Amino acid sequence: MGVNPDVVPGVPPPGARPFDPDARYDFIIDADGDAVPDSAFRITFSNDDAGRQTGTVRRLAGGDVAISSGDGPTVLHDAPVSPATEPLITAEGGIAFFAGRRSDPSFEDLVGRRNNF
């Protein structure tokens, strides 16, 4: 998942955070190939005034995960978001978590796009 392409590694605009603390990020998993969700991970991020963010990962299970508005049990709490190019990976209870900037598989010339508007 890519987010906020305007944030440049090491030079974020004042107050910019790579992940919206008011959003929830849902990753829905079909583990058996039947096109029906089997589980999901719901990730929310902190709103740290010091410029550091952490993520909390919850796991939802069952057939209603695609429409669930509730939160499941927490599997990782306050996992750090990588602030630069060095990945910070949190692993606990068989779950590995990384959130941060990575090279985008699809290139977009952001400066060129802005100059065309």
| DSSP label at residue 106 | S
Q: Where are the alpha helices (DSSP H) in the chain?
A: 110-115
- Among 111, 75, 80, smallest CA distance to 95 is for 75
* 3-state helix/strand/coil string of 64-87: CCCCCCCCCCEEEEEEECECCCCC
- Among 49, 63, 115, 55, smallest CA distance to 81 is for 55
List pLDDT tens digits, range 72-85: 889 999 999 887 77
List pLDDT tens digits, range 38-89: 888 899 999 776 768 899 999 887 655 555 666 788 999 999 988 777 888 9
Name the residue with higher pLDDT: 88 or 11. Answer: 88
Does the pTM exceed 0.95? no
Mean pLDDT for the stretch of residues 93-100:
89
pLDDT of 101 higher than 80? no
Q: In this structure, are residues 75 and 92 in contact, taking their beta carbons and an 8 Å threshold?
A: yes
| DSSP label at residue 114 | H
CA angle 46, 108, 56 (to 5 degrees): 15
